[in-house]
Amino acid sequence: MKGLIGKKIGMTQVFNDEGNLVPVTVVDVSTCQVVGKRTPEKDQYSAVTLGFGEIREKVLNQAQRGFFKKNNAGLRRHLKEFRVTPEDAAQFNVGDAVKADLFTKGQLVDVTGTTKGRGFSGVMRRWSFKGSQTKTHGTHEYQRHPGAIGQRKTPGRTYPNKKMPGHYGVDQVTTQNLTVVDVDTEKGLLLIKGAIPGHNDAIVYVRPSVKAALRAQHKAARG
């Protein structure tokens, strides 16, 4: 699986080749660089470590400085390993820039990011509860409450994983099968159809679609 680290710039809209207006999310992948490699001989698996975003050396700790110095790589703020085959890993060298043309126009991708934080939220916002429909006959201030959460004496407790009020957001979420509408290699931008997880300026990881790859494998196996 190849992939890129990017920064979510925000959303806009473009016209496609058919003249239809398409909402897209702009992802900046301009500073992606190979900063390390994993090999089956040394690490028992094959992977490429990408870095994204520039950073000053004084901000890094000693271990981080040693990692970049050992690999003779440029300093990067965010790191991420992408599992690849040994053949794909051989195509990259430490220090190589990985550009937006890793993906093509029309390709399906999966985008992983951290959702926006919503703080402590009630059940209607957090779990989309309908709420109480009883607004008369002595019911007071109970329209947005969760209702009963347990049983009587047996078992005498509330089951785990009950949908209740609590912290909402700041979860790692992957949105699958999004279409790459356009690729701007010069500016290092990907235009991806639809919304992706995270706030503006959030770090996201873009990979080829897993489901599309599985469909292709099944189709090839059927002949």
pLDDT digits (tens, 9 = 90+) for 197-210: 999 999 999 999 99
Amino acid at 169: G
Indicate the helix (H) or strand (E) that contains 71: helix 62-71
What residues make up the domain containing 18? 4-135+172-221
Residue 28 pLDDT? 96
- Whole-prediction pTM: 0.87
Please state the domain count of the chain: 1
Domain-embedded: residue 157? no
188, pLDDT greater than 90: yes
Domain-embedded: residue 122? yes
Buried-exposed string 103-115: b where 16+ CB fall within 10 A, e elsewhere: beeebbbbbbbbe
Domain-embedded: residue 159? no
pLDDT over 90, % of the chain: 71
Residue 136 pLDDT? 67
17, pLDDT greater than 80: yes
- Left, alpha or beta for 186 (phi > 0: left; psi -120 to 50: alpha)? alpha
Indicate the helix (H) or strand (E) that contains 203: strand 203-208
Residue 171 pLDDT? 96
